[in-house]
Copies of this chain bind each other. A is one copy, B any other.
Amino acid sequence: MALYSALFYSNAVEEILSDAQWLQQMLRFEASLAQAQARQEIIPSSAAELINACCQAHYLDQENLCADIRLGGNAAIPLVKQLTRIVKNNQPEAAKYVHLGATSQDVVDTATVLQIQVYSAWLIPQLKKLLAALLALSKAHRSTVMIGRTLLQQARPITFGLKVALWADGLWRSLQRLEQGKSRWQTLQLSGAVGSGNSFLSVAIQEDIAEQLQLELGASWQTQRDGLVEWASVLGILSGSLGKIAKDISLLMQTEIAEVFEGAAEGKGGSSTMPHKRNPVTCAAILANATRTPHLVATMHTTLLQEHERSAGLWHAEWETLQTLMGLVGGSLEKTVDLIENLEVHAHAMKANLEKTNGLIYAENLTFALAETLGKSQAHEWVEKACKQAISQQKHLKEWVMETDVCQQINLESVFSAETSIGNSLAILDTIHQKIKL
């Protein structure tokens, strides 16, 4: 859908995922096959050179190709047919060496993996860029106090730096997954019609091609799609972790909270008739993507039950699903980088919101302070009553308790201070910063 290409997607990624690029990846496979077979003296070098030269996506008649996909049932059949004709037009003899010994699924699957390779080469640096932006933001707000919220209720103070560091912590694990899992999905597919290989697809040829394309070697995964499904799952997790950031920011942007804002831009997220609005439009896009990706992941999981040596339908269900998933995740990542790099943080609003409960968020502090003299359970009871009184009298808890005898010994400044109520926030933040090496 071109209409929403700028809203949900990334231009750079859409280019990688374009039909033209994908056809080129299929042709890269064909070229590398011919070259390997020439080096193993299975086909003449001149034929391999010609095939290689003909492997240019712009030589293809893409319209006919789309039409023929309907008849053949996959993109490889018409592509090989067209490539063969192009080669034949140059040198009739060489045509017979095109795609020698390979099957449609070898082409399609390897092209998919090559596309993933190019996409990963975009994704991983972007993810590192995001991590760097998060660490910078976290560092800048290391000690900016704000309220932590559980079940959407104010709970106890944290720092905004910690919140951001924890976002980074989850994304850091996504980076690990991308790196650790790679060898399971970035694997050459080259095993002929039924996965058994043949004399044109010897180990030497497989090694040669894997070397050319920088792919792993392995047995046929024609109907063992776990690697691809892992890839999809890893992307889905990344999408969700980005969505979690967008969710938090969109909630913090609520008119009544107003602690952070998406960076402003001419015409962005505003409303001419509602001048107070700062719509979280970037967050909405990331959240929309994160709403869709779990179901694309599920689709991929559903395709695991591929029959025998090639499936009638489940293989086909992967193609567009994976494309859309990669597109959405690419879009979300690019947008989150933009979101974080331009985030407006309103530390004063964070500070102000800490006062919304009239001191009740510090009740636990008070209990601990009193426990030393009263004992824990009595302290607890006393504070509970104090809170009720303060609420019914619409007083700040601090004001109410400072007049009581019981609290004369207590350092109420400290008890009712956000800065001293953040637990180990700073230490945890520092540990995360030390752990993430980019």
Contacts and interface: CB of A to CB of B under 8 A. Distances in A.
A267 B199 CA distance: 27
A149 B194 CA distance: 7
Contacts of A115: none
A178 to B, nearest CB: 12
A241 B303 CA distance: 10
Bin chain A's interface residue count: 35 or more
Interface stretch (A33-41, A116-124, A129-137, A284-292): A284-292
A211 interface: no
A424 B240 contact: no
Contact of A361 (B197, B272, B274): B274
* Copies of this chain per assembly: 4
B173 A195 contact: no
A313 B288 contact: yes
Nearest to A319: B4
A198 B424 contact: yes
Interface stretch (A67-75, A340-348, A400-408): A67-75
A177 B211 CA distance: 25
Nearest to A283: B312
A191 B212 CA distance: 49
A92 to B, nearest CB: 9
A53 interface: no
A230 B233 contact: yes
Contacts of A360: 274-276
A330 interface: no
Interface in A284-307: 284-299, 301-307
A316 B288 contact: yes
A422 interface: yes
Interface string A29-55: 000000000000000000000000000
B69 A280 contact: no
A125 B150 CA distance: 35
Contact of A152 (B180, B184, B251): B251
A199 B372 CA distance: 15
A220 B169 CA distance: 9
Contacts of A70: 6-7, 281, 285
Nearest to A269: B73
A334 to B, nearest CB: 11
A27 to B, nearest CB: 14
Given A5-B66, A69-B6, A71-B281, A302 B291 contact: yes
A141 B332 CA distance: 41
Nearest to A63: B2
A10 to B, nearest CB: 11
A170 B224 contact: yes
Top 9 nearest A-B pairs by Cβ distance?
A240-B304, A287-B313, A148-B194, A294-B301, A197-B424, A276-B360, A73-B281, A298-B298, A150-B310
Given A152-B250, A288-B313, A297-B297, 13 more contacts: A1-B19, A4-B69, A5-B66, A73-B151, A149-B194, A152-B312, A155-B310, A203-B427, A219-B432, A230-B237, A247-B306, A279-B312, A287-B317
19 contacts: A7-B316, A68-B267, A71-B266, A96-B377, A152-B250, A153-B253, A153-B276, A155-B194, A156-B192, A158-B309, A176-B184, A199-B423, A244-B304, A273-B367, A275-B387, A276-B387, A291-B313, A295-B298, A297-B301
